[in-house]
Structure 1
Amino acid sequence: MIAPQQLVEQILARATVDDTIVLVTDASEAALRWAGNSMTTNGLSTSRSWTVVSIVRDGDEAKVGIVTSASVDAADIDGVVRSAESAARAAGPASDAMPLLAATDTDPQWEETAAVTEIGAFEQLAQDLAMGFDGTDQLYGFAHHQLHTTWLGTSTGIRRRFVQPTGSVEINAKRGDASAWVGTSTKDFTDVPGTKMLEELSTRLGWASTRVELPAGRYETLLPPSAVADLMIYLMWTMEGRAAEEGHSALSAPGGTRIGERLSALPLTLTSDPAALGLEYAPFVATRSSSESVSVFDNGLDAGRVDWVREGSVHALAYPRAAAREFGAEVTVPGDNLILDAGGSLSLDQMVAETERGLLLTTLWYIREVDPATLLLTGLTRDGVYLVENGKVTGAVNNFRFNESPLDLLRRVSQAGATERTLPREWKDWFTRTAMPPLRIPDFHMSSVSQAS
């Protein structure tokens, strides 16, 4: 198989249009699955995906053609390049057209080979699970480790490389009719607290030995970090400058955007940071397509820390270079991690101990947007909703459908605990790297009772 660096250079050498961008990603993945207290499957895979972005210019206008291939045969290079160039010539003008960024110093890691994982990454987790398999609770779950090495090259001389590690573990436990879920994200599986996760599952299943039926309504509710992550991710996905400027989103305001508007009395700061310890992501733009928040013309652009919300106020929206120029805004690159912090120090258990009466959620599921203008979301609770009375969990209650807006939740949150790394339940296949605190919402809206388990 041709080396990725050589693939980049050969594509650029064969290009005949004004500008060309090449992205090559070599993926190494390991997976482990278990069901009914027994390991069922494990496996390793490697793959390659490469994309040619061809740009044809006519004055200030630019037309773009994009073709992606998974071929590892060098004989296919010409065909893919010609297809991308033909698509560019036939395309309409791109609304996000900009000059490509000029060459920077070649990444010192450019010539390195792809990073690889192995089944051995799961060794400690497998040992922890083996002890759990000896118990009476039925355990199901999945562990996934990915190392994606990406090389970015452009006809203007940019050469950049990054290795993105992504790992996750989900464990579902069942005892009778009760079920419970825990999950965590990780870079390399050296820090997965397998034994602690199993203990947490057992505790929650024990809580479910007492059942309480509650009607729909507004309840004081403790949202664990996982549930907070799912809600904040959706908020960040909507923080696009163009949509806000044009009045199409919940971040719009008369004559502009809601940047500077106070959302919360608490000093909540919602951040993306490529250098965040344990949650690192590529410190530059490497995208195969354009959207309202990122542009192929910005490939190679440095990506730094962004405070989407700072000290309780809306602070930033995503603007590619073209949108930033159009609206007179600062160029802002969306991030691939998300961290919410308010300086809290309490754990979720300590917040439970301070609760007179309320609900403790586990995870949220099947989240969908109801009203873009207010960012109203609906979804279901899943795998454990628990009643807290006088500082203790006294039983499990039925599941609910909820209706809430993340923006409105930030306004109403009355307490935030200590920020910790977590795994979103709903969005983990698209967004894994998060750190969130537990939040206390005094009146979380459970709109109806759900039969989901």
Structure 2
Amino acid sequence: MTQLRPQEIVERALAASTVDGQVTYVTESSEANLRWAGNSLTTNGAMRSRQVVVISFVDGGAGMATGTVARTGTPDVAELVAASEQAARDAGPAEDAVALVSEVPPGAGDWDADAAETSIDVFAEFAPALGQAFGEARGREELLFGFAEHQLATTYLGTSTGLRLRHDQPTGRVELNGKSTDFGRSVWAGVGTRDFTDVSVADLAAEVQQKMAWSQRRVDLPAGRYETLLPPSTVSDLMVVAYWSMGARDADEGRSVFARPGGGNRIGDRLARLPLTLRSDPAAPGLETAPFQAVGGSSGSASVFDNGMATPAVEWISEGVLTNLVRPRAWAQRTGAPATAAVDNLVLEDRTATASPAEMIARTERGLLLTTLWYIREVDPQTLLVTGLTRDGVFLVEGGEVTGAVNNFRFNESPVDLLGRASEASRTERTLPREWNDWFTRAAMPMLRVPDFNMSSVSPAS
């Protein structure tokens, strides 16, 4: 059994089915990582894993029910299928029941190919450059901390309707923290990548060095509303929150910020004063992701009945106007609206914007420049009000120049409300969400200028 290829597991599971339908997918993953602290590499490693997910569909007379069972490694396929079928028999009718997908989506992949693999060799050029950065930081009496990770995950998805789909997903990220030797100052830089060929350690280290220099002067400010420059990482964290709230059903039933007062959703409403477009595209350069769905459970924004459904490019907000919401096929059929699948990347852009972040800083008479946000939590789903903390550098801009670092703050803001108040956007660039990068790494965002960002209280965090 340990020698079974993932395709063989899928085929054996489908052949063992005794019920009305089945979806099985196997994800083969390999990962390599480096971690460092105090200007020294501390660990490196490589891992491999396998997850097998079987979803059974049983029509018990009252309606189609589903059961999902997942195992790691190479499980007893017959036992796994039987457990999934029993879970379906024990469940009640699924309200998202529709016919399983049978149409082959574009980009189905080479089913017979072996799973893609990464190794520690992915860091062949990165590691020596990191060593050089360590030496330079020591010379400045500064400390570097952080990690680099690369994963290659290949998913094989098969269904009782005949679909055989395969996708290779590379995912990489780097986070680099700079600290003073007394740990009184802390700054951050990060980047997402597919293969590390586009990662410049020198650029990341230079960004950290600049922020460390900015933070040598400390200025204490009270809570209040400040003109604030949100760099791409912070914008991505906020826009991911908005994206995760874009379920059509929640909006249609009045439970989200995208619900229209009095009933229905806000599609067609202007959300942004700038011509901002929020979009997802599985073929976006540098952000490529799966062109079909593979999900183990149903939610308001996904359905196990939609496994194998194509995930084409979609604009969620088009030049400031809400255009689409995430809508599984069952809810689409119930409401007469088109089905729209979530995609695992996100791009925000003002196609008329030409300024760089540096040029936006130079145009700031007095305001704050953030580095990252963290511990973001939802307060009110009706307005999508969230709270969180600034982290690793809040800088004061005066007369177009950064003049020092200020204390951290707790903030209270709605990402959707911010879109309506943002007064300027830079060119869009690839970025790494700081808060959400355990789950979401593929993002491209601009810097946004918000005239009155709400710093609700001073935070003692460093």
TM band (smaller chain)? over 0.9
**Other-structure match for 1:55:** 57
The answer on whether the counterparts of 2:133 and 2:201 sit within 8 Å (CA) in structure 1 is: no
Deviation at 1:81, TM superposition (A): 0.7
Q: Considering only aligned residues, what root-mean-square deviation do their CA atoms show, in Å?
A: 1.2
**Other-structure match for 1:421:** 430
Matches within 5 A, 1:36-435: 36-58=38-60, 61-73=63-75, 76-102=76-102, 104=104, 107=108, 109-134=110-135, 135=137, 136-175=141-180, 176=182, 177-253=184-260, 254-343=262-351, 344-435=353-444
Give the distance between the partners of 1:108 and 1:255, measured in 2 at CA. 42
Give the distance between the partners of 1:426 and 1:347, measured in 2 at CA. 24
DSSP-derived class of the 1:277 partner: coil
Give the distance between the partners of 1:58 and 1:91, measured in 2 at CA. 10
Q: Residues 107 and 228 of structure 1: is their aligned pair in 2 closer, same or farther, counting only changes over 3 Å?
A: closer
Which moves more between the two structures, 62-71 or 409-418? 62-71
| Per-residue Cα deviation, 1:144-183 (whole angstroms, up to 9, x for no partner) | 1011100000011000000011000000010141110000
Deviation at 1:59, TM superposition (A): 5.6
Deviation at 1:124, TM superposition (A): 1.8
Give the distance between the partners of 1:23 and 1:152, measured in 2 at CA. 4
The one-letter amino acid of 1:356's match is E
The one-letter amino acid of 2:315's match is D
Which moves more between the two structures, 129-138 or 77-86? 129-138
Give the distance between the partners of 1:287 and 1:202, measured in 2 at CA. 42
Give the distance between the partners of 1:103 and 1:305, measured in 2 at CA. 18
Give the distance between the partners of 1:191 and 1:108, measured in 2 at CA. 25
Deviation at 1:107, TM superposition (A): 4.0
The one-letter amino acid of 2:220's match is E
DSSP-derived class of the 2:387 partner: strand
| Per-residue Cα deviation, 1:319-373 (whole angstroms, up to 9, x for no partner) | 1000011111110001100000002121111110010000000000110111111
DSSP-derived class of the 1:242 partner: helix
DSSP-derived class of the 1:252 partner: coil
Deviation at 1:137, TM superposition (A): 1.3
Q: Which runs of 5+ in 1 are unaligned?
A: none
The one-letter amino acid of 1:171's match is L
Give the distance between the partners of 1:104 and 1:259, measured in 2 at CA. 29
Give the distance between the partners of 2:285 and 2:73, measured in 1 at CA. 35
Percent of aligned positions that are identical: 56
Q: Which runs of 5+ in 2 are unaligned?
A: none
DSSP-derived class of the 2:202 partner: helix
The one-letter amino acid of 2:129's match is D
**How many pairs align?**
451
Give the distance between the partners of 1:90 and 1:369, measured in 2 at CA. 34
Deviation at 1:133, TM superposition (A): 1.1
Give the distance between the partners of 1:264 and 1:82, measured in 2 at CA. 51
Give the distance between the partners of 1:104 and 1:199, measured in 2 at CA. 47
The one-letter amino acid of 1:79's match is E
DSSP-derived class of the 2:14 partner: helix
TM superposition outliers: structure 1 runs of 4+ over 6 Å: none
TM-score normalised by the chain length of structure 2: 0.96
